[in-house]
Amino acid sequence: MTALEILPKAIQHADLHKTSKPDVFGFGESGQTHDVDMWLSLRAYVFLKEEYPLTIPYLKYDKKRDQYRLQVTVNNLAPVERFVKGLEGEIVVVN
């Protein structure tokens, strides 16, 4: 791109455009939310932080269990299910 020209024209159908805040897995609002609660091994914790850094504030370490817990509300369960299936035996889903 070498130039930008701003036109004095309003956006057509601006009232039909909606913004939606993505969840920690990058999925926008779909009108439905899901609570996720799961325990992760150190390995799963490291992979989750690397692949989905927006989950970091929702991860807590439990000394007694020596595991990490993710408790968050998401807009779509597909990435959560894919992550759990990819690390079978490393994650325990509470609900």
Q: Between the CA of residue 37 and those of 3, 20, 24, what are the distances in Å?
A: 49, 23, 14
Strand, helix or coil at 25?
coil
**Average pLDDT of the residues in 69-77:** 95
Residue matched to tokens 């057509």: 12
pLDDT at 31: 80
Name the pLDDT band for 72 (thresholds 50, 70, 90): very high
**Average pLDDT of the residues in 33-50:** 96
pTM of the entire predicted model:
0.77
pLDDT at 19: 77
The 10s digit of each residue's pLDDT in 9-24 is 888 888 887 777 899 9
In whole angstroms, give the CA distance from residue 77 to residue 29.
12
Residue matched to tokens 């759990």: 84
